Chain A
Amino acid sequence: MDFQPTEDQKALRDGIRSFCEGQVPNERYPELEKSKGFDRALWSELAEMGIFSLRLPESEGGVGLGYADSVLVFEELGRRLVPGPLVWSQLAAGLVKGAADGTAVVGGLDQIGGGDGPCMVEHLESLDVLLVLRDDGVYQIAPRTLQGELVEFPLDPLTPVHHVKSLPKGEKIADAARAKRLRLEGAALVAGQQLGLAEGALDLANEYAKGREQFGRTIGSFQAVKHMLAEMFVRQEAARAGAYNAGATLDAPEVADVERAVSAAKITAGEAAIRNGRSCIQVHGGMGFTWEVLAHYYFKRAWVLENLFGTQDEHAEKIADLLTVQVQA
């Protein structure tokens, strides 16, 4: 067993990190906000980097990498708050034409266990295809056939949402097992993004606490603040282990229960993203409550991702179900 990222994986992560830093520096957020979190040129660049085709076999024009590699990539996308239906578009590679090369922007809805009633759809105006996971399979819907209303004030300034009254049936493109599988994969990839958010929020808060002085000392030298930062670090490390564990278990399902690993990742990374976002605001004091400091972007995105592919509560119930089966055995 060697659970550490390999040299190749570290190189992949570093490459994506510097790409994201170059493409989405802090100064770009106001501009991205104006374009409602979507920029086709950026999307093409992301596709060019292989982000959507990462797990597609080389024979199908993909990069041919695995789930753990993808988790590392999504960690970096999360760290820089890169907007857009990133996870859905990677899930759609190989399933929807154009998803892998970025010519089709694919979003989605996870309706497993739900109906076709009113729902919230992210990035609707930017989508070429909307995927819907239902109990009986994966469906593809043309976004323009949806009757929806753009929400005037979305929670995350970079994640526009539509309130859609009802979902048309669409065209079935894969079976129930595939739908269930995509939900599982999606949760693992989102956990990677949530880990990145937790890290980004800690970095921001940590740097601020080193520079900001009150009472003649940096605020990070006060244990009350230092311990808050340490708690953010612990959550980040738990999220890292959880998210990597989900990716590595998806890559080698013979070693452990994939469902348990993925649910654990979604729980620990979800908690880390939300709580680190909140602590990042707190460490910044009054400035943390302003629009101009990035802290609120981390916090708000964390809540967007919490509601993708199962909340912490849903995954906790899933683990409870798995425990029930385990004790009966």
Chain B
Amino acid sequence: MDLRYTPEEQKFRRELASWLASEVPSYGTPPSVHDWPARRAYDTGWQKKLFDAGYAGINWPKEYGGRDATLIEQLIYFEEIAKANAPYVGCNFVGVLHGGPTIMAEGTPDQKAKHIRNIISGAEVWCQGFSEPVAGSDLAGLQTKAVRDGDHYVVNGHKIWTTFAQIADYCELLVRTDPTAPKHKGISWLIMPMNLPGIDIRPLPTLEGEGEFSEVFLENVRIPVENLVGKENDGWRVTNVTLRFERGTAFASEMINLQAFVRGLVKLAQKITSHGATAWEDKALRRELGHLSGELESLWAMVKLSVCEAKASGVPGVGASAVKLYYSELYQKITELGLRLLGRAGLSRSDVAGLPAQHLLNRHLNSLSISIAAGTSQIQKNIIGERILGQAKDPAPAKA
């Protein structure tokens, strides 16, 4: 159990930190969340900068333009990105983390030639068409239908939670191509150009009052058969291939941000006074924040442990669900302290009386999505209970 970084790892960190120190301040601040074209330009512009400097596709193989960094270097990467307050991966998320890696693994030579370089260099933006109103946690129950018509699939259905649909060029789309097969066996993975006729995008405002979500309605959308990735009806396996790319570093940057958030709460507590004393003199608050900060330290150690296990075994550590559960709960508890410190100032979502209400409220409201997105906490607990602890599955309800 050695926490010391190798000379190569230290060199990687130094070089990245110095590059970030020179590039981040001059890149400017993010545009308004309502200005979609500007957001796309900001996110993809940063992706291009990363690409030119050799820091894009940190986990992608070199032959596809990636860095092919070790898992430890990836951890360092996310740590330094967060410390430098560099732009978030933003609208490049789906392409760089899911779409690109899937095409690398399962795509045809033509598909690779057309998309890989564009994704990693920020020229192409992707969105994800997986979830449906009737298929959330039970994703394999999806019903969007694709029927073969000559050299096209004709697609009809309704997707939801589609992030950045407004500005995406392509969508990784899961469709049902065999309605008679068992649910996991009749799914296919298609590349859908977002400019095709029949695609209707309707924004779905989140409880934050804005956000990147849309519903996507598909009516007789004709997608060329050459856009099929992998074999027809093999889409479920194709989808799960990308999971291999994600080996425990998913929330690394956010965790480092959370450490900075805690320090921000301490500073705020030192400023807020009531009954002649600062909030930071309140022993109960100090204990609670100290406790949560200690948990955050252990969470970061959990990430290191799971990354090192994944590096050694080549497969995701069994603890990935545990990391996500612990992180979600901690994130919500820590950001809740922000609201408690604000008190009645937190009735406003804009800054009032010199207090950062906007930031604190946004962080806490956003935290409520963490225990839902990418597998709800309840699904994660089923995974742990069944796959790790070996408990029996819930029996299916008896047919009426």
**Chain B interface: which of A157-165, A288-296, A320-328?**
A320-328
B-contacting residues, A58-95, CB 8 Å: 68
A238 interfacial contact with B, CB 8 Å: yes
Question: CA–CA, A260 to B296, complex, Å?
Answer: 11
Q: Tell me if A316 is interfacial: C-beta within 8 Å of chain B.
A: yes
Q: How many residues of B contact A (CB 8 A)?
A: 56
Query: Does B345 belong to the interface (CB within 8 Å)?
Result: no
Main secondary structure of the interface of A (DSSP, over half): helix
Q: Output the least CB separation between B169 and chain A (Å).
A: 38
B-side contacts of A9, CB under 8 Å: 1
Interface size on A, residues (CB 8 A): 62
- A6: contacting residue among B1, B295, B381, B389, CB under 8 A: B1
* Contact bitstring B271-314, A, C-beta under 8 A = 1, else 0: 00000000010010011111101111111011011001101100
Interface presence of B82 (CB below 8 A): no
User: In the assembled complex, which residues on chain B have CB atoms less than 8 Å from the CB atom of A327?
Assistant: 263, 266-267, 270
Residues of A within 8 A of B381 (CB): 223, 226-227, 230-231
Q: Are A218 and B290 in contact (CB under 8 A)?
A: no
Q: Is the CB of A242 within 8 A of B382?
A: no
B56: CB under 8 A from chain A? no
* A153 lies within 8 A of chain B by Cβ: no
B9 touches A1 (CB 8 A): yes
Chain B CB within 8 A of A210 CB: yes
Encoded as 1 (CB less than 8 Å from any B CB) or 0, chain A from 130 to 163 comes to 0000000000000000000000000000000000
Residues of chain A within 8 A of B393, CB atoms compared: 221
CB-CB under 8 A from B286, the residues of chain A are 316-317, 320
Question: B290 near A245 (CB under 8 angstroms)?
Answer: no
Q: How many angstroms between the C-alpha atoms of A324 and B270 in the bound complex? A: 9
B385 and A265 contacting across the interface, CB-CB below 8 Å: no
Q: Contact: B290 with A237, CB < 8 Å?
A: no
A278 / chain B contacts, CB cutoff of 8 Å: none
Q: Are A223 and B308 in contact (CB under 8 A)?
A: no
> What 12 new A-B contacts, CB under 8 Å, besides A230-B389, A264-B297?
A4-B305, A202-B389, A206-B391, A210-B391, A227-B378, A227-B382, A247-B1, A312-B291, A313-B287, A316-B288, A317-B287, A319-B294
Name A residues whose Cβ lies closer than 8 Å to a Cβ of B.
1-6, 9, 68, 202, 206, 209-210, 217-218, 220-223, 225-227, 229-231, 233-234, 237-242, 244-245, 247-249, 251-252, 254-256, 260-261, 263-265, 267-268, 312-313, 315-321, 323-324, 326-327
